[in-house]
Copies of this chain bind each other. A is one copy, B any other.
Amino acid sequence: MRTLVLGGSGFLGSHIVDRFVAEKHDVTVYDLYTERYRRTPKGVQFITGDFGNVGALDEVISSGFDAIIHCVSTTTPKSSDESAEFDIQSNVIGTVRLMDICVRRGIGKLVFLSSGGTVYGDVGDIPAIPESHGVTPICSYGVSKLSIERYLSVYHHLHGLNYVSLRLSNPYGERQSPHRALGALTVFLYRTLTQQPIEIWGDGSVIRDFIYAGDVASAVHQASVGPLKGVFNVGTGAGTSLRELVAEITRAVNMEPRIVWLKSRPFDVPRVVLDCTKLKTATEWKCLTGMQEGISKTAAWLRDAEAS
């Protein structure tokens, strides 16, 4: 099976590539740069290109693929609000162009990485959110992810485009940069390991559903090879507050971080935990990596990356 991973050099992309390589797929990565933290894995074809370059993208896709995994995002929940226009221009229009190519080139399946953490918005105290829940994003990032999902649905309806949209909770793991403004687990872990203070916006009661990137990658694989269609949550189904996260990290690495408390941010919703019953019912997928194991793997990589 020939698989193209757009944005395959990124954090999640690298885990997805690993999974497909392990499953003996013929993997091509299209990205601006090769991976930052390691060489391109053996057997993977790497093509340099910008997601916004529709001509180059079309040429790559014209060689034919059974599945395309779209992991490109030019924004984060925080940066998206600095310019909603840039978010729409690069992500929404970029993905609509990709859909046009997929229809024209007869691509078997398009798998899109959406955001369970932002599309639902502030749902209150719901223990775990199913896909059928209403959506009220409170940041541009969530709106653009939802817009893309809706265009996928329209393209399916009008042109028969076969797609899966995976609404991820909060992924973490090896090769997630500890220096960016997202990925609380990896950032907190890195700062604990390097004895820097952790910054927490709000009182630490914010609850998230942290999922190990390897488990996300196996969901992407299931979505690509099986008959799956439509929108699916991908998370652990379990919530962890930022305070509990600090305790988990402390236990896993046996180091206690110092915390700096900051004012809460308007785009952080109090609780997002995803109900993943739909994906578990439709496939064999399970979330296999517990938080202690995930933290240990990530810590091992951070120590290595730090040392190198």
Q: Which residues of A contact B (CB under 8 A)?
A: 81, 84-85, 88-89, 92-93, 96-97, 99-100, 132, 134, 136-140, 142-143, 146-147, 150-151, 153-154, 157-158, 266-267
Complex Cα gap A157–B266 (Å):
8
Closest-CB distance, A52 to chain B (whole angstroms):
12
A142 to B100, CA, bound (A): 18
Would A158 and B96 count as touching, CB distance under 8 A? no
Task: For A137, list chain B residues within 8 Å (CB).
Answer: 150, 153-154
A146/B140 in contact, CB under 8 A: no
Our pick among B92, B157, B267 for the contact of A158 (Cβ within 8 Å) is B267
Q: Is the interface of A mostly helix, strand, loop or mixed?
A: helix
Q: Find chain B residues with CB under 8 A from A139 CB.
A: 154, 158
Bound complex: CA A284 to CA B84 (Å):
36
24 A-B pairs within 8 Å (CB atoms) are namely A81-B154, A84-B96, A84-B99, A85-B97, A88-B88, A88-B147, A92-B92, A92-B147, A134-B134, A137-B154, A138-B153, A138-B154, A138-B157, A138-B158, A139-B154, A139-B158, A140-B151, A140-B154, A142-B150, A142-B154, A143-B147, A146-B147, A147-B150, A158-B267
Residues on B with C-beta less than 8 A from A138 are 153-154, 157-158
The answer, among B85, B132, B136, B154, for a CB contact under 8 Å with A143, is B154
Instruction: Please indicate the chain B residues that have their CB under 8 angstroms from the CB of A146 in the complex.
Output: 147, 150
Residues of B within 8 Å of A154, CB to CB, are 81, 84, 137-140, 142-143
> Min CB distance, A284 to chain B, in Å?
28
> Given known contacts A85-B96, A88-B93, A92-B88, is B134 in contact with A143 (CB within 8 Å)?
no
A99 to B88, CA, bound (A): 14
Residues of B within 8 A of A134 (CB): 132, 134
Is there contact, CB below 8 Å, between B81 and A88?
Answer: no
CB-based nearest B residue for A157: B138
Tell which of A147, A154, A266, A267 has the most Cβ of chain B within 10 Å: A154
Report A115 CB to chain B, min CB distance, Å: 13
A245 and B170 CA atoms in complex are apart in Å by: 52
Q: A153 to chain B: which residues have CB within 8 Å?
A: 136-138
Pick from B143, B157, B158, B266: contact of A151, CB below 8 A. Answer: B143
Report Cα–Cα, A151/B137, bound state, in Å.
Answer: 9
Q: How far apart sit A62 and B284, CA to CA, in the bound complex (Å)? A: 58
In the complex, chain B residues whose CB is within 8 Å of the CB of A143: 147, 150-151, 154
Q: How far does the alpha carbon of A250 sit from the alpha carbon of B142 in the complex, in Å?
A: 49
Quote the shortest CB–CB distance from A278 to chain B (angstroms). 15
